[in-house]
Structure 1
């Protein structure tokens, strides 16, 4: 948290985290002088922080002559593993999905990418006679869903490239032959718009709209979306759906530790 001027609420904590981040990001052990320069903090302050991190087990040093070379330990990794075990994505998003589904009158979902498929890991249904064929555990081609497109648009090139040879063709009336070039152009539009849409490509009369969310490292972690009849996701309804999925995506990103 920061005040209106942008200053950290706790400068001491802010400096400590900055030093720790500099240690983790360094390609090799650093002297105190180099660490202070990388973190942008005074040398004496950096030394106090480094010795404290050493006492707490987050850093170690190697003495070479009169120089001390510092590096982080894997204690942070242990904390991260504990956190990952506690983060239950379906539980994390369920209340938001319920509100989204109720506000739009459409089922809402969260999907993650597994290989070349999107797996639906959470869903909030809406009451009514019509129930769409979406459920927790459903697997679908990543390129034929708005969820998958929202995720793929933010993948690093090295992760996206192998997927381009695994594009699918839907059975809907608007389905087209898989084309890597056209799909890349589509993903560029998704990035620019901030959301993805698929309409009557995977199957007739059905459309879906989704926005991505990101983890603490800034990597895309999944997407939140809604599904409805294609004739529904138009005009003001579509605008409301865009606002809804984008807002939920941003909220989930915040909970996962992503900071813009």
Structure 2
């Protein structure tokens, strides 16, 4: 037996009042406010204050704080208590694969230049959970070299990349990460005290770069600078055998890294070529 197709009433897609052509407002005020906050965060390099959020959303400060607290609890916002500002959090990192690819493309020529200048391996690293992941590596051409592989992970506390990134995360976030992983001994030089590590991060912020002086590998030495304006917890580094890559070399490399990091952060994104 043939089935009859059910026909919807002509006014099924109409509202109870008003014409079918009338545009409806399906927006949810709370979601709109979250979007306003996230847009504001995305446009800011240095972070935004609670007052700015309240003014933009039209919310009382107490309500604006509850929105920020909820976003922070889900890692979409990070709070810098020292400066009293909020930034985009790590919860967005996994959603930014295209952003990461652009960063990799942008950084690669600079990493090659660093490799050629110092004869050592140049790296681009990112905070991935509670460890550092290497997302781009330009290996030294020398037979004996210090090099990881793309996708490898290293600890936050014992690497120059980790220190450079951690120095610009909220302190409570760093403490939480290290309370989760601990500060295991990698070598005799590894910092294993949380207070000592926080003091080391203060030094990194002061001088603008971080050093791993045989803290992750016995004969390894590395210097790193953060990429502060990329909206990602990332840094670049130069690493080599400590027997060849001296502390004097580290100081010279640090100066170049800081300059290169600023260039990577401010370069325009590559434009797609269209026919």
* Bin for the TM-score computed over the shorter chain: 0.5 to 0.7
Cα distance, 1:82 vs structure 2: 9.7
Number of matched pairs: 184
1 CA distance for matches of 2:147 and 2:110?
21
* Alignment partner of 1:249 out of 261, 265, 268: 261
TM-score by length of 1: 0.63
Matched, 1:168 2:180: no
1 CA distance for matches of 2:96 and 2:130?
28
Residues 99-145 of structure 1 show CA distances to partners (whole Å, capped at 9, x for unaligned) of: 00000000000100011100000011121211324121110111111
Cα distance, 1:161 vs structure 2: 2.5
2:149 corresponds to? 135
Q: Tell me the SS of whatever aligns to 1:198.
A: strand
Cα RMSD for the two superposed structures: 2.9
Q: Specify the structure having the higher radius of gyration (Cα).
A: 2
Change (3 A) 1:188 1:82: closer
Structure 1 segments of 4+ aligned residues over 4 angstroms from their partners = 81-87
2:90 corresponds to? none
* Alignment partner of 2:136 out of 82, 101, 122: 122
1:230 corresponds to? 242
Q: Tell me the SS of whatever aligns to 2:57.
A: coil
Matched, 1:28 2:28: no
Cα distance, 1:245 vs structure 2: 1.2
2:272 corresponds to? none
Q: Tell me the SS of whatever aligns to 1:251.
A: helix
Unaligned runs of 5+ in 1: 1-19, 31-80
Counterpart contact for 1:147–1:211, Cα < 8 Å: yes
Deviates more, 1:103-112 or 1:231-240: 231-240
1 CA distance for matches of 2:206 and 2:199?
11
Residues 144-195 of structure 1 show CA distances to partners (whole Å, capped at 9, x for unaligned) of: 110000000000234223113123323323235x211111001000100100
Change (3 A) 1:106 1:169: same
Unaligned runs of 5+ in 2: 1-42, 60-94, 270-275
1 CA distance for matches of 2:58 and 2:228?
30
Counterpart contact for 1:155–1:220, Cα < 8 Å: no
Cα distance, 1:230 vs structure 2: 1.7
1:188 corresponds to? 202
1 CA distance for matches of 2:146 and 2:138?
11
TM-score by length of 2: 0.60
Counterpart contact for 1:171–1:203, Cα < 8 Å: yes
